[in-house]
Structure 1
Amino acid sequence: MGHLVLGIDIGTTGVKGILIGPGGERLAEATASHDLHSPYPGWAEEEPAEWWQGVQAVCRQLLRGRNPREIAAVGCSGMVPALVLLDEKGQVLRPSIQQNDARAVEEIEQLRRELDQERLFAITGGYTNQQHVGPRLMWLQRHEPEVWRRTRWVMGSYDYIVYRLTGQRSLEINWAVESGLFNIYRREWDAELLQASRLHPELFPPVHLPTEVVGEVTQAAAKETGLFPGTPVIAGSADHVASALAAGLRENGDLLIKFGAAGDILYCLDRLEAHPQLYIDYHDIPGLYLLNGCMAASGSLVKWFVTEVLGWEASGESYRRLDEDASIVPPASEGLIVLPYFLGEKTPIFDAQARGLFFGLTLSHGRGHMFRAILEAVIYGFQHHIEVLTARGYTIRRVVATDGGVRSGLWRQIAADVLGMPVTSFPEHPGSALGVAFVAGMAGGLFRDWAEIEAFAGQALRNEPNLKAHARYQEAYRLYRQLYETLKPLFPQAALLGQQPEAT
């Protein structure tokens, strides 16, 4: 039996891999980039072939100089619920439609009318929203009927990688849980919900818990990745769930904010209890659950500003310069406020037609103001999520932050100041790849206790809130909330203009 485990995360902008040992060793890490495409306003697509190319490159980097027999198990995580469509032969039919895609506006409205939303919430833990699978598949039925006619299987991002590794079609349970089609209490597809979306259960592979081994690395996959044939592969984990595990969320009241391409927030609890403004997931740890929210644009908005507005390369040097510019701007950016709804918005407002906004912009504002206002807007979004938690009686025990954005000392401090709470961050934390590697290690017997994950956490940084800045931010936050409520009736008009063809 091998003594190492390998974790792979399919992220929004790249594949990340990690190789870990039994005593807390992080032995190797590797990355490979891919692109997020938005050919029309609100669309978000990726090419599964690019994911697989990235997985091959990452595995070969991680295994360089090692005997592949050392790997006891492989785990994959990724975005959920992304949509990958396969034909009868297992070939990808079109680009993946990502979880933050906002095209299915009409289908969402149709299902909101046709479905008893309270029954839907009682069964699935949520109301019809843009992340649900049904509306996006209905959009495909209407707009790409030939693709839909040829569709035999529907699965998620990391499920597709598991399929490429093992030849076995499977769904990890949290893809099903977040689909809006699955009874989360009975762990089965709901016939009425499937019928409303013109779907049948045979479209979906068998559903598995994260630690279940669904197959072994095939000879073909071994040749492409360098992994040893027969290596066990688990069902995997949703990226945000694996990240929560890696960050040490194991007790009621633990809260994680993720500064990734999307802005995830996760709250740990020991009972399966849905929230009307948040998603619910099964924790990788049996018996625990996660209430979670997701802002469609976070780090992707930062990158957009750097590359599309400034025309700079999205490099460490670019972000360092912008941090310096923004650090001399006072809290609340001298009256400049951003609404970060550049891809519509998921939780907690569930508004696919919401749009991004710079409000209060004057000739006295510079790029530092604009950059800082974007960073602040993401944290305002996190505060909004915390408010919907505390409004229902949940208490926050501690706040942990991970993912790429926490490398910015400025962004970390803004988080502490806006939230008014200490924030513990792990700037070099591998996140989801580490979490799913640990899940694979539990499945493979390399680890025996979920608490062992803490040995991998790395150096922690703690930011204390500045109470004067916090007071200033609360004024700006109230305006941030008011802006959305005021502009909400106008967003559909902007969305409609974005869909109309250019005048000739």
Structure 2
Amino acid sequence: MEYMIGVDLGTTSTKAVLFDDKNQVVTSANKGYPLYRDVPDMAEEDLNEIFDALIEALTDVVRAADLKEGDKIAAVSFSSAMHSLIAFDKNWKPLTRVITWADTRAVKYTEELKSNGLGAQIYKKTGTPIHPMAPLSKLLWLKEEHHDVYENAAHYLGIKEYLFHRLFGSNKMDISIASGTGLFNIFNLDWDEQALAVTGVTKSQLPQPVEPYEYETNMVAEYAAVIGIPVDTPFVYGAGDGPLSNLGVNAVKPGVAAITIGTSGAIRVVADEPVIDPKGRTFTYALDKDHWVVGGPVNNGGDVFRWARDNMFDAEKSTAALLGEDAYDLMTEIASRIPAGSEGLIFHPYLGGERAPIWDANARGSFFGLNHSHTRAHMLRSVLEGITFNVYMVSLALEEVVGGLKSIQATGGFARSPLWRQMFADIFEQPVTVPEAFESGSLAAVIVAQKALGKIDDLYEIEKYVGASNTYQPDPENFEAYRELAPIFIRLSRQLQTEYENIANYQRKHSK
């Protein structure tokens, strides 16, 4: 038996999934780690905690495979969160923790890039919207506010590249991850000269761009021994989690959108060449040089649902723990008692600023329309509807760029909720299909590994392994409520945007 492992490097956990030679899941292991928010707008991870999580997850699934004589791990391949940045000195000593996509401390320098016109010029070549998430902005922040780090930095990597460097001594970055840095020219597939000039960073400080099919062997023997695999086991670079999510749910044909809601979320479609939005609202990231994922990410997804659980449904959380049930199941049952539209209660979910569609790190959340008749249940349903309306706003921008959407493939934590799936179908007025395999990112990483090793000819082989467990059709009874509310949600988000900076600055000034 030949096994492969797909690794999903996430914001708060790393998951390793073991697949057999028929691409069926055998077992998985998930190891979590904290996201450090020591000061306002910070979102960092510890390098050693992530490295340990990777080693532990790989060790667990290799042991669970119980390899017999003749069995082997044919490859390990990666799906990774994008936009992270780590600085190292000339001796490869880390000078920072992992500065993640969720870190918005570079907001000041992002706004300067937008206002002086340089941001628009760089976006048109890199496909990465100008936002504090991107390493482009993070480098400007380091340069101005942590000059000692900036001056001593000889190398800059993301989290996946750091793991590969520690395991193999390499210094490479796949073009998918590179295309999310804001520093990479997606038309000539190299680091962009203008972006480098703006940040003051040189090519020598950045890793070598490679195809997602590149792989390393000759692992440090100590780590190979701990994991329980040969040192020459191929580790395939793979790609960013967004592009691989599209592949993993077979959303690669024209008009087929993939919607992912995990901690954050995104809606994406695949094009055969880079597509730039004249208004700068959507990203274009590489899956490989022949497949480009166009879409928009949202900061506020499942983490907002978690916020509602922790702050409004503590009793249900405790009850669920006592009964051995999932608190989210209890909460969605409560929300399902409220009619579509939450009887006129609207929630803007911008608890963590926002990327698409408004690209405003100062954005803040709000309930609008509260009256005496509204209850916790109304607020909960409006939270779910607000997250969905926001993704719908992104889809409207996406349709301007790539054309109309025909159907939706759903993945991520929300795909487990029948209420939420139906809500997406009703608000989008599109069928929503949920694939059988929830481990879509890891499966896609394994498909990339199979192409890298010559076991398959193209990525479309994944269609054989992605089934549809259910398709949710739009419910016409809910159309009227959502059609009336959607324009109010959109207009209100624009009106509130005039005050987001003021309230964000107030919060920063008075936060403890």
Sort the TM-score into its range (normalised by shorter chain): over 0.9
Q: Superposed, which structure 2 residues align to 1:338-353 within 5 Å?
A: 338-353=347-362
Provide Cα deviations, 1:297-355, integer angstroms capped at 9, x if missing partner: 10111112222444447975210110111010111112221111111111121111111
**Equivalent residue number for residue 219 of structure 1:** 221
Match of 1:66 in 2: 67
1:186: Cα distance to partner? 0.8
Quote the residue 1:288 is aligned against. Answer: 291
Alignment partner of 2:450: what SS? Answer: helix
Which shifted more, 142-151 or 480-489? 142-151
Distance in 1, Cα, partners of 2:86 & 2:229: 24
Query: Which residue of structure 1 aligns with residue 134 of structure 2?
Result: 132
Aligned pair partner of 2:180 in 149, 163, 178: 178
Superposition pairs for residues 49-128 of structure 1, below 5 Å?
Answer: 49-64=48-63, 65-66=66-67, 70-128=72-130
Determine the C-alpha separation between the residues in 1 that align with 2:156 and 2:313.
39
What displacement does 1:363 show? 4.5
Hey, what does 2:302 align to over in structure 1?
299
How many correspondences in the alignment?
Answer: 501
In 2: Cα distance, 1:385 partner to 1:257 partner: 11
Scaled by the length of structure 1, the TM-score of the pair is: 0.93
State the AA in 2 paired with 1:305. A
- Change in 2 beyond 3 A, CA 1:448/1:154: same
Match of residue 273, structure 1, among 255, 260, 275: 275
Instruction: Map 1:344-423; keep pairs closer than 5 Å.
Output: 344-392=353-401, 394-423=403-432
Residues 158 and 236 in structure 1, CA contact (< 8 A), matched pair in contact too: no
Correspondence for 1:437: 446
Q: Please, which moves more after superposition, 57-66 or 128-137? A: 128-137
User: Match for 1:293: what amino acid?
Assistant: G
Aligned with 1:500: secondary structure? helix
Tell me the distance in 1 between the aligned counterparts of 2:45 and 2:369.
34
Partner Cα distance (2:375, 2:12) in 1: 28
Work out whether residues 42 and 344 of structure 1, in 8 Å CA contact, stay in contact via their aligned partners in 2.
no
Higher RCO (C-alpha 8 Å, min separation 6): 1
Distance 2:365 2:424 in 1: 20
Contact in 2 for aligned 1:403/1:427 (Cα 8 Å): no
Q: Which amino acid aligns with 2:293?
A: L
Q: Secondary structure at the match of 2:31?
A: strand
**Structure 2 length as normaliser, TM-score?**
0.92
Pair 16,464 (structure 1): closer, same or farther in 2 beyond 3 Å: same
Q: Determine if the alignment matches structure 1 residue 194 to structure 2 residue 196.
A: yes
1:18 aligns with 2:22: no
| Structure-2 separation of matches of 1:391 and 1:212 | 34
Question: Alpha-carbon deviation of 1:115?
Answer: 4.4
| Aligned pair partner of 1:323 in 323, 332, 335 | 332
CA distance in 2, matches of 1:458, 1:154: 40
SS at match of 2:281: coil
Q: Is the 8 A contact 1:217 1:227 kept in 2?
A: no
State the distance in 1 between where 2:120 and 2:191 align.
17
Greater mean alpha carbon deviation, residues 81-90 or residues 202-211 = 81-90
CA distance in 2, matches of 1:74, 1:12: 20
Is 1:447 aligned to residue 450 of structure 2? no
* Residues 260, 412 of structure 2: 8 Å contact kept: yes
Cross-structure match for 2:473: 464
CA RMSD of aligned residues (A): 2.2
Shift of 1:191: 2.3
- Conserved? CA contact 2:127–2:285, under 8 Å: no
One-letter identity of the residue aligned with 1:120: I
Hey, what's the Cα distance between the residues in 2 that align with 1:43 and 1:387? 31
Residue pair 1:32, 1:58 contacting (<8 A) in 2 also: yes
* Higher alpha-carbon deviation: 446-455 or 320-329: 446-455
Once residues 54 and 228 of structure 1 are traced to their aligned partners in structure 2, the CA distance between those partners, rounded to angstroms, is 20
Tell me, which stretches of 5 or more residues in structure 2 are unaligned? none
Amino acid at match of 1:281: Y
The change in CA–CA distance for 1:92 and 1:236 in structure 2 (over 3 A counts) is farther
Q: For the residues of structure 2 that align with 1:78 and 1:288, how far apart are their CA atoms?
A: 17
Task: Tell me the distance in 2 between the aligned counterparts of 1:118 and 1:95.
Answer: 29
- Provide the residue aligned with 1:493 in structure 2: 502
Displacement after TM superposition at 1:89 (Å): 3.2
Residue of structure 2 in register with 1:9 after alignment: 8
Amino acid at match of 1:483: L
In 2, distance between residues paired with 1:366 and 1:273?
A: 44
Identity, in percent, stands at 27
Query: How many Å separate the matches in 1 of 2:207 and 2:340?
Result: 49
Q: Aligned residue for 1:254?
A: 256
The one-letter amino acid paired with 1:306 is R
Separation (CA, whole Å) in 1 of partners of 2:300 and 2:122: 26
